[in-house]
Amino acid sequence: MKRIETTVSRTAEWTCVARAFSSTEPDSHCRCDDQLACQLLPWFLRPMVKTSAARAIFKRMAPDGLYHYVVARTKYIDNVCRRALAQRFPQILILGAGFDTRALRFHQESQNSRIFELDVSVTQNAKLSQYQKRNLLLPQNLTFIPIDFDRDSLSSRLTDAGFQKGQRTLFVLEGLLMYLQPESVNATFRTIQEYGGEGSWAVFDYVYASVLRGETKYDGAAQARRSVDRAGETWHFGIERGMVRECLSTYGLDLLDERDAHGLEETFFKDEEGRIVARVNSLHCLVTAERVARPSCNLDDSKA
């Protein structure tokens, strides 16, 4: 039995703490907008995230550049969500949601959309418990779907929850793919291809496949792998550097945008003088892709 089937995801908890610290950063480059992350923390941690000393210790304890990667990832996906909501996407699907608070943070902008959050039940229940304790009201357009991506049928869970097949949808896969078995990643993207209408977007992050092979040419790679292994949430999936466009085409997706560490630093951490104020962990990439029109011939599943 996997640890996350019986215990709240430690990496999801760490991400929530990182967002909470980031929301109190004095420097706007390093500050994300997730003010609700602080409210999801245990009572004894909430005062700490407002102190610079605790923030500095938290950063030093993390793998090199990982804290600022989470900050950049939060900002990047927030921006994609804002663009999708401005275009009135009918559905938003957040896979492996963890302690994601976007359904609440974007409540006003998303009133015309249905939002679905999927995660293992123990982590999902812990989040719902914190919402209840903090008297945070759940939007009526939000549906929670418990799922184990490596065991359960994503398509069946979506159908049972009332997801409308063929509508333009934003699929958010934040901090998820690397933890899934390759066959589960394949099934997930096949479902996006089958269920997402033309013009749907998928935003996700991934690690380089070389990291899984133990190659250490990326700063913080070995440290990051040790951290997730200690958490009992080992990485199983990666994409070879430079191959994401080809991988996406297998599932009827076009690459719209890809940001590696350098791209994230240039986008989020460059000051007015052109200096980079924070460094990002270099083994991750962020991607936005679009669901294109269904091809006239069937895809060769043997190449998946």
Q: Is residue 303 classed exposed, middle or buried when 0-12, 13-18 and 19+ CB atoms within 10 A define those classes? A: exposed
The pLDDT value recorded for residue 76 is 98
Task: Give the pLDDT band of residue 301 (cuts 50, 70, 90).
Answer: very low
| 114-119/142-146 β-pairing | parallel
Statement: residue 9 has pLDDT above 60:
yes
Asked if residues 150 and 120 have their Cβ atoms less than 8 Å apart, the reply is no
Q: What is the pLDDT of residues 139-154, one digit of tens each?
A: 999 999 999 999 999 9
CB atoms within 10 A of CB 48: 18
**What does each C-alpha distance from 106 to 36, 56, 91 come to in angstroms?**
12, 29, 13
Task: Give the pLDDT band of residue 218 (cuts 50, 70, 90).
Answer: confident
Statement: residue 200 has pLDDT above 60:
yes
Please tell me what DSSP assigns to residue 294.
P
Question: Whose structure tokens read 């997801």?
Answer: 163
Domain boundaries, the chain: 64-295
Please tell me what DSSP assigns to residue 303.
G
Side chain identity, residue 205: D
CB atoms within 10 A of CB 240: 11
Taking Cα atoms as reference points, which of 118, 173, 172, 174 lies closest to residue 145?
118
| Class (C level, CATH) for 64-295 | alpha beta
Q: What is the mean pLDDT of residues 157-183?
A: 97
Q: What is the pLDDT of residues 15-37, one digit of tens each?
A: 999 999 999 999 999 999 999 99
Residues whose CB is less than 8 angstroms from the CB of residue 22 and which lie 6 or more positions away in sequence, other chains included: 30, 31, 32, 34, 67, 70, 71, 74
Alpha helices in the chain (DSSP H): 10-23, 36-39, 52-61, 66-86, 102-105, 121-133, 154-161, 182-195, 209-212, 221-230, 244-249, 261-268
**What does each C-alpha distance from 137 to 38, 107, 234 come to in angstroms?**
16, 11, 34
Question: Whose structure tokens read 């466009």?
Answer: 245
**Cα-only R_g, the chain:** 19
Taking Cα atoms as reference points, which of 208, 154, 210 lies closest to residue 184?
154
CA distance 96 to 226: 21
CA atoms within 13 A on the CB side of 85: 21
CB atoms within 10 A of CB 199: 14
Asked if residues 85 and 102 have their Cβ atoms less than 8 Å apart, the reply is no
CA distance 105 to 103: 6
Q: What is the pLDDT of residues 230-280, one digit of tens each?
A: 888 899 999 999 999 999 999 999 999 999 999 999 999 999 999 999 999
Task: Give the pLDDT band of residue 4 (cuts 50, 70, 90).
Answer: low
Determine the distance from the C-alpha atom of residue 68 to the mean position of all C-alpha atoms in its chain, rounded to a whole number: 14
